[in-house]
Structures are given as C-alpha cells and as structure tokens.
Chain A
Amino acid sequence: MSIDRRKFMKVSGLTALALAGGKGINVLAQEDSTSVAAPKTGSFETPLTAKRWAMVCDLSKCREKEGCDVCIKACHERHNVPDFGNPKDEIKWIWKEHFEHAFHGQEHEYITDEIRHTNVPLLCNHCDNPPCTRVCPTEATWKRESDGIVMMDWHRCIGCRYCVVACPYGSRSFNWRDPRPHIEKIDESFPTRTRGVVEKCTFCEERLAKGLLPACVEACPAKALAFGDLEDPESEVRALLREHFTIRRRPELGTAPEIFYIV
C-alpha cells in the first residue's frame, strides 16, 4: 500500500497533535496524584509473573520518617484486615517491630542507637522452605509452585492454628472473633475472613495477577521496599542484593526467608 505526500502530512500532523495532547494530560495527572489517589485498576491481561518473588527492605530509607505506617495502612485497608483494638486479638499482615526483636541474636550492645531504634517492617517471609505449610492438615496453606508465594485458602482453613505455632516469625494471625464489625472501611473487591480462620500476607497475589505491585511496595513514600524476581539476575531485588549486605530473620532455622533487609 502506498501513501501520498498529502496523506503522510495529515497522519504525521495528527500524531504530533495526539502526542502533545497526551503529554498535557499526563502533566495534569501528575499534578493531580499529589493530592488525590489516581485509581490504578490494573488488568488481568498484563499480570506480573516471576519464578520466585522476593522483597528487599532498605531500613535506611524506612527510618527516614519516624512513626511512618503508610505500608501497614495501605495493606490492611486493601485486605480488610480488622482492628480489634486489643493486642491479644491483633490481626497483622504487615507490622513493625524494634530491631532487637525483629533480629533477635543479630544485635549487640554496641550497635548504633539509630539501628537499635529502627522499627523494622515485618511480614510473611514467604519462605522457600515454609514450616507452616507442612503442618496444615487440610492443605489450606501451601507454597505456590509457580512463583513461591505461600498461599492461603480461607475456604479450607479449619482454624486448628498449627501453622500459627509452626511459623517462627509470628506472621500468622487467628480470628478469635468475627472480624467484619471491626473493619473500619471495607474494600468491597476483596473478601473478609470469618471467625476461626487464620490469615496472613499473600504478597498481594490478587494484585500481581492484575499487573500491580503489592500494596505496601506501591504505598511506601520512601521507596524502601523493592519487590521482584529472585531468579532473574536483572531484577531490582537482585541488583540490591548484589550492591548491599543484607540480613534475614532467623536464617539459622533453615526456612530460607525471602524478605531481605539492608541495615
């Protein structure tokens, strides 16, 4: 098919116009995003996939803003995590803990105050060798073969709490009471849980399926959380692991946690 000069000029003119217009809209959108959340909906046609999902948390960035809990709020709002207002009943997918509690045995009396007083964000480690899945009698929790996410099937959980005991990181919480009345604002697109069910972080597998990053990673104002494929040498997490010395929680247990921390 041939194209004459007139047609070419028309098309290129329109293209230039469209590009300029698009840029203008982008600028507006950027300005807008500082004040109001621009809804990102994602699409099932462009899922995020990996052979082994992992996360690297840069604590130096994380402690920039004291008392920051944006990641916790983002996660807990997104997943309808209840707040019972009572530490005994607490449900947590991501939470913060003092450095010496998070990395018990890896601290000593001469570490700097800055490190000692770091509140470390903790979540399910999505272990390569998860002890929780081995004890589940109903296979309600299992390590997904495709990308290593330690999954939960709340339909199947019978609330025996073996997994809660097996997890050495306290990543699993049990609903002692009906959670629904204790959820501040329900996100309708995600289910709640019921009484008698264990829950934990799922690495936002429902968001990955739509091509969106985990809610905590997306929300972090300091960009302290990096998320990517451990098996891909070009990924952001591998780059960070190459450049920095990282620690993990209780590596001596042999669970092979997949959340790495840059101190």
Chain B
Amino acid sequence: MYDSGKVIIGVLVFLALLLFPVWYNLASGEATTQGPELAKPVKGEACVLETAYMRSNHMDLLDDWRERVVRNGERIFAAPDGQHFEMSLTNTCLDCHADKEKFCDECHTFMAVDPYCWDCHIVPETPTRQEVTYVN
C-alpha cells in the first residue's frame, strides 16, 4: 500500500472524529456506561407488576390503563399478586414514585425520550392527596 503511514493515521483521525460524541462524553464524565440511578419509591411493598417488566414496558401498561379508564370506564387494576390499584398515573404511580425528577425524568433523559404525559397529568407537590370537595 502506498503511503500506508498517512492512510492509517488518516483513518484513525477519521474514526476519532466520528466517535467524538462517544469518547468525549465518556471522558468528561457526563455519560457513563451504567444506567441512571433512580429514586426509590417513598412507600409501597411492591409495584403493580414486576420491576423488570415495569422498567421496559411501563408505557404499555399506562397505555392499557388509559384505554380501560377513559374508554371502558374501568378504574381498578387487579395485580397478579392480589393487590388492587386505581389505574391512575398521578394518583397511583406518582403516589409511591413521588420524585418525578429523580425517577421518571432521570431515565427518560438518559434514553433521550420526551413523553408528554405531564402536559396534562399533574405532578403532585405532596405525595398523598385527598380529593377536594365543596361546601354548600
């Protein structure tokens, strides 16, 4: 190969530039090869379904809940372990996973996804709420 030294250096420089985002982020410590550290729930023994399933498929469950609550008028989710839950993002999920920033956002940011659940659904300021009613 003619000019092999130049070509090899050129290829290496090209690869270094191509992979710049990867090594830069690794070197600067902004990204790690580890997943994000998520906040522990403030209460509750077990999640509605297994943690492993929830980690990868919670969006499917939420979509199913949406369908069942809004369109079918069902409200209660019977978990396989016998527990019953209100199918509600704000009132059930965020009741235990109270710190949305350190739970939902942490992972969504890591995965570079931007769900718009909270455009409408409210992140409660206090972990436990009571329904408000009105006096006569």
Residues of A within 8 A of B (CB): 33-34, 36-42, 44, 70, 73-74, 77-78, 144, 146, 151, 153-155, 186-194, 205, 209-210, 212, 215, 218-221
Q: Are A77 and B132 in contact (CB under 8 A)?
A: yes
Q: Is B113 in the interface zone, CB < 8 Å from A?
A: no
SS of B interface (majority): loop
> Could you tell me the distance between the alpha carbons of A220 and B136 in the complex, rounded to whole angstroms?
6
SS of A interface (majority): loop
Range of interface residues on chain B?
Answer: 20 to 34
Q: Which stretch, B18-26, B27-35, B53-61, B67-75, touches the partner chain A?
A: B67-75
Neighbouring B residues of A186 by C-beta, 8 Å: 122
Q: Which stretch, B7-15, B98-106, B123-131, touches the partner chain A?
A: B123-131
Who on chain B is nearest to A205 by CB? B73
Q: Are A39 and B73 in contact (CB under 8 A)?
A: no
Who on chain B is nearest to A153 by CB? B70
Residues 64-91 of chain B, each 1 if its beta carbon lies under 8 Å from chain A, else 0: 0010001101011000000000100011
Q: Is B52 in the interface zone, CB < 8 Å from A?
A: no
Q: Is B114 in the interface zone, CB < 8 Å from A?
A: no
Q: Are B90 and A221 in contact (CB under 8 A)?
A: no
Q: Are A221 and B136 in contact (CB under 8 A)?
A: yes
Who on chain B is nearest to A39 by CB? B130
Q: Is B120 in the interface zone, CB < 8 Å from A?
A: yes
* Given A188-B125, A191-B122, A192-B120, 6 other A-B residues pairs in contact with their CB atoms under 8 A: A41-B131, A42-B131, A151-B71, A188-B126, A194-B120, A218-B133
Who on chain B is nearest to A194 by CB? B119
Neighbouring A residues of B91 by C-beta, 8 Å: 189
